[in-house]
Amino acid sequence: MQNQNVTQHTHARQVVLTRPLAQAQDFARQVQAMGLAVAHFPLLQIEALEDNTALIAQLGRLQDYALIAFVSPNAIDAFFRHMSSLPAELTFAVMGEGSRAKLAEYGVNDQTATILRPRNVRKTDSETLLAELDLDALRGRKVLIVRGESGRELLADALRAHDIEVVQVAAYRRVKPALSNENEKHLAQLLENENDWIITSSEALRNLCDYVAGLNLIDGVAKMQRQHLLVPHSRIEETAKSLGFLSITLTASGDEQLLVALQSRL
């Protein structure tokens, strides 16, 4: 991991963005437009697969599927990287506002396609997506789930339990970034002040805890637990509480709601 600060203010509260750097730029600009200082500290790295044969094979069979479900915006990016045009009348499913917005970047919206998504924007995941699906209508048909190399099996298992044929295909991989000496110093510096951390996955939060534990700082874990977290999902909130974090703001799904929460702290 290279040094990826946008702005460093050692003695001022900062908004720490923990997404992969390439995915955080637009959000960073919006945060800075609010007059807030931004620091980048990616807790996850998204990498393309070395072999996309399985994904590309499924892209040629999209009309075989009654539903195409994306587990994340990364899955959508990987999917469209290999698509020149979409067949007509496909039905998509996404788990949050970030994925809905990502589909829109590729011209897929409620006017051009059927997009199913959870109505409860404070709990956007497999469970709430399942509540939106007509499982009886899908019985005996095929569903494609586009995902990372690993992830929760709840959606696939629930669909199979209703006699729905499920094909899961990996489109990318998540990697825990390696810390350089410079990044270790940056992390230690961030912990010296109480900052606002944008955390968009439980995996990223666990990586942060691993990094801090490896620094061997005096009161490092306590300093980390006093950081303020903004999280867009109740499952991340539950993870944060289990890891001892003391200040957590749960927002609705989507970057817009994270920005609203930041604005309320000004």
Task: Count CB neighbours of 33 within 10 A.
Answer: 9
Read off the CATH number of the domain in which 183 is found. 3.40.50.10090
Neighbours of 205 (CB within 10 A): 22
Q: Let me know whether 91 and 140 are in one domain.
A: yes
Inside any domain, residue 81: yes
Q: For the chain, how many structural domains are there in total? A: 2
Residue at 176: amino acid letter = K
Query: What average pLDDT is seen over the chain?
Result: 91
pLDDT digits (tens, 9 = 90+) for 20-46: 988 899 999 999 999 999 999 999 999
Domain boundary among 113, 144, 174: 174
Asked whether residue 9 is domain-assigned, the answer is no
Asked which of 122, 142, 174 is the last residue of a domain, the reply is 174
Q: What is the pTM of this model?
A: 0.80
Q: pLDDT by residue (tens digit) across 134-178?
A: 999 999 999 999 999 877 788 999 999 999 999 999 999 999 999
Residue 230 within a domain: yes
Residues 242 and 165 in one domain: no
- Sign of the C-alpha dihedral, residues 105, 170, 41, 126? positive
Task: With CA atoms as reference, report the closest residue to 197 among 241, 228, 176, 225.
Answer: 228
| Residue ranges making up the domain that contains 110 | 47-174
User: Among 127, 153, 174, which residue terminates a domain?
Assistant: 174
- pLDDT, residue 253, reads 81
100 & 206 share domain: no
